[in-house]
Amino acid sequence: MPEERVTSVDNRPPSRATRAFPRLQGHHCMGRLAAAFRIFFKTLFDAKTSALVGDLLLGRSSPAPSPPIAATPVPKPIEPAKPKQSEAVTLLATLQREARLIDFLKEDLSGYADEQIGAAVREIHRDAAQVLERLFAIRPVVEEAEGTPVDVPAGFDAAQYRLTGKRAGSPPYRGLLQHHGWRTTKCELPSFAGSETAATTLAPAEVQVD
């Protein structure tokens, strides 16, 4: 077989390395050679790389990386339940605070003249009416004036109509309006933000400190 001759591109005599390794030409060969040197020194000074290269040379696959350990979620601290106040207590406390209603109802009126009681009732009536209007906007169930004829429809709600007198047959009924009833058009009670002890307090004790 004739000997393969290697010549350079510019017809200069090939170098000793080129004559010894005629296939190691071009940039890709030099890149592999540089990579080989890097792997050599990396293997020489790094135990992990040395083990990996040894596995590759022996045909063993490298172990799969361990899955990351999921962080344990930190439980949120449980907040204590906020004290609640009955809506009935809230309403009574509001009527006491703004109309002094409980003071009036708990007062012994036997020692007062009718004129004195009448003057106190007038003031309480005004203030309590303002509270009810602001919180509930109370309106009549039936808008007609008391004493006028009204019709009670078939299938009426017993919570809205209370029938008195003689009732015969089935509704609808017709009769005289004795009381027009009351209904709320809103409910806006104040929110409670006090302690558990204050949840049952209708009015605080007042103490004058000298």
Give the integer Cα–Cα distance in Å for 7 and 152.
119
Phi, psi of 27 (to 5 degrees): -70, -35
Phi, psi of 33 (to 5 degrees): -65, -40
By mean pLDDT, which of 30-44, 64-78, 195-209 is the weakest? Answer: 30-44
Q: Name all contacts of 104-111 with Cβ < 8 Å and 24+ positions apart.
A: none
Tens of pLDDT, residue by residue over 7-17, are 444 455 555 54
Give the integer Cα–Cα distance in Å for 174 and 150.
6
Tens of pLDDT, residue by residue over 67-117, are 888 888 888 888 778 788 999 999 999 999 999 999 999 999 999 999 999
Residue 148 above 90 pLDDT?
A: yes
Give the integer Cα–Cα distance in Å for 124 and 142.
27
Pairing type for strands 149-152 and 173-176 reads antiparallel
Which sign does the torsion angle of CA 146, 148, 152, 153 carry? negative
Whole-number pLDDT of residue 59: 67
pTM: 0.57
Greater pLDDT, 127 or 50: 127
CA angle 95, 98, 102 (to 5 degrees): 45
